[in-house]
Amino acid sequence: MVADMSDVTPLFEPYTFRSGVQVRNRLVLAPMTTGSADPDDSVSQAELDYVARRSAGVGLAITAVAYVTPGGKGFHGQFGAEHDGRLDSLRALATRIKAAGARAVLQIFHAGHNSPPELVQGDVTSASDVPSPQPQRAGVPVRALSGDEVQAIVRDFGQATRRAIEAGFDGVEIHGANGYLIQQFVSAHSNRRSDEWGGSLERRLRFPEAIIDEVQRATRQAQTPFLVGYRFSPEEPHEQGLTMNDTFALLDLLRAKQLDYVHVSLQDYAGGPRRGGDPERSRLNQIAERLGDTPLIGVGNIWTPDDALNALTLGATFVALGRALLLEPEWVQKVQAGQNGDLRTTFTRADRDALTLPDPMWNMLTGFMIKDRLTDAS
């Protein structure tokens, strides 16, 4: 089924989440790594400017991910939410997003065995001592977390949520995707434990369940509506990795938790499954069906209004814009005004200042992220 491309009204319908948080439309700023934190891991002015500009049209703006504990930092230039000294930094980020008219959501995580050893205090840790599949982490030793450490990390997610509330955010998104610690517990590839946190799929799901419970407990102190979302990756390519059948079990858990939304991480919103599920239907459609009345954010290779509308027809409640908003910060405003022909689809090295991108993000863009859409001004 193909959407009616003459009418973009569905993209601009308001929505009220279960928690009571209201948004002006169905468009979301996707969480994207900027690598732009200040040297002390506070949010930088460059990141504030980047996020504020792109929050001016969307209904929901999800930040780059913040780490919840010193041992969980995932990359250089990442900002933290791991102690109360971060409150001013986080407050500045929430304030700029909300001033632009969007609802502000802080994404939080622990990187697990994807943490660079030079950035963490102590060992690189994970569910088990299975090394990261990332080539740049080859040879890095990984230590399995003890039961007490697992419980401490669960509490750290709750404390980061409390800080998000105090900083003025409208919600948090638990980052259980892209091979980070929560996914490492869910996956049989990376979780080889034999205690209460590993073994059967039911026990491997206890870690995300415990985190959701702790985060929801922390939200009960909020004085205004506060939403909780969860992001996940549906499949893994490696042996014993996640399949769609594993993901269906995770989705059943997420649906039962009455979350405000679930956010799927996909390279292509219309792509089909590798293993498990119905090979004739898109993963997005099957995920939406399994979630029932739980709202779903779809993402992946969405560049045009047509793409966004098609994602809605496949079952998404919201559409997250990533690279499209990097190239065209006013994508939402132009589409709403019927100026689709004015959407930027390429950029040149001369556009650096016009795009309001932090230097590290610009370097990533021009280096490898979207070479097919980069033209040389020289």
In tens, the pLDDT along 206-254 reads 999 999 999 999 999 999 999 999 999 999 988 889 999 999 999 999 9
Mean pLDDT score across all residues of the chain: 93
- In degrees and rounded to multiples of 5, residue 305 shows phi and psi of -55, -35
Q: What is the 3-state secondary structure (H, E, C) of 55-79?
A: CCCCCEEECCCEECCHHHCCCCCCC
Chain centroid to Cα 374, Å, comes to 25
pLDDT value of position 370: 47
Name the amino acid, one letter, at 258. Q
Q: Where are the domains of the chain?
A: 9-375
Classify 261 as helix, strand or coil. strand
Tell me the backbone φ, ψ of residue 203, rounded to 5 degrees: -75, -30
Q: Note the pTM of the prediction, 2 decimals.
A: 0.95
Distance of CA 349 to the CA centre of its chain: 28
110 compared with 364, residue with greater pLDDT: 110
Residues in the chain, overall count: 378
CA 242, CA 183: separation in Å to the nearest integer?
A: 9
Which helix (H) or strand (E) segment holds residue 173: the answer is: strand 171-176
β-sheet bridge partners, residue 171: 105, 227
**CA pair distance 236, 334, nearest whole angstrom:** 36
CB 44 within 8 A of CB 358: yes
At 1 the three-state DSSP class reads coil
CATH 3.20.20.60 fits 9-375, yes or no: no
Q: How far apart are alpha carbons 291 and 13 in whole angstroms?
A: 21
pLDDT value at 117 more than 50: yes
β partners of residue 375: 348
Which positions are catalytic? 180
Per-residue model confidence as pLDDT tens digits over 241-295: 999 999 999 999 999 999 999 999 999 999 989 888 899 999 999 999 999 999 9
